[in-house]
Chain A
Amino acid sequence: MILNIVNKNSRSDCFDQCLAQLNPGDALLLIEDGVLAALDTPRNHQWLQRCPEGVALYALREDALARGVEPQLMAGFQPVSYDEFVDLVAQFRLSQSWY
């Protein structure tokens, strides 16, 4: 199972490539501009429909706070702190960055 870390919004090649490679049991952590893909918008619900069931969804809280969007995160997304980011990296045997 792989922790997938994405730092771009949903309208990007790397986001599409990541989405296509997600499997149940994987996790998706959105950081930097990636947190914009976690906002509760019609467009983001579209990509979420392509995301397999059983993928844990996280967004880096600090990056959401910095952009003023922390209250708009979709319900399925768990905000995580930097410390929890480190915990996630330790918890998964493999991490993969998409940028």
Chain B
Amino acid sequence: MPAPGNQPHQHNPAKKLLFRLSKPPYGRSHAREAIDALLAAAAFEQDVSVLFVGDGLYQLLKNQQPNAIDQKNFTASFGLFNLYGISRIYALDTDLSERGLSAEQLLLPVTSMDRASLTTLLREQDQILSF
């Protein structure tokens, strides 16, 4: 390994990373930690996509008041997505409809897709990270 500092900075090509968020908020720490991880990846100029799966979609609901259970509102971090250039946000159409969720109920603009499109999206990735 060459000593860092003496070499010109090398840009590795960005990896396509898909963060798969499948847990509802607050019951466990997965949701909060996923946001930390994907923001870090975006800060290092990785090509980040975010997929909300199943009950993970409940992370996106407006009007969360976690102070009622003495927890922080981690959804404030969603406001950073734009700043970090994270615009590819996906969900399965069936996951949305099974939960009666529509776009205007969600904190982020989500691209709804069918199962076949999701398969294509997954296969395009370099890595899939599950939270």
Contacts and interface: CB of A to CB of B under 8 A. Distances in A.
A72 interface: no
Interface residues of B, number: 14
Contacts of B54: 13, 17
Interface stretch (A38-46, A57-65, A80-88, A90-98): A90-98
Interface string B98-131: 0000000000000000010011001101011010
Interface of B: 20, 22, 53-55, 115, 118-119, 122-123, 125, 127-128, 130
Interface residues of A, number: 14
Contacts of A94: 122-123, 125, 127-128
Contacts of B115: 20-21
Closest 4 CB pairs of A and B: A97-B130, A96-B128, A17-B54, A13-B54
Contacts of B20: 96
A94 B126 CA distance: 7
B119 A23 contact: yes
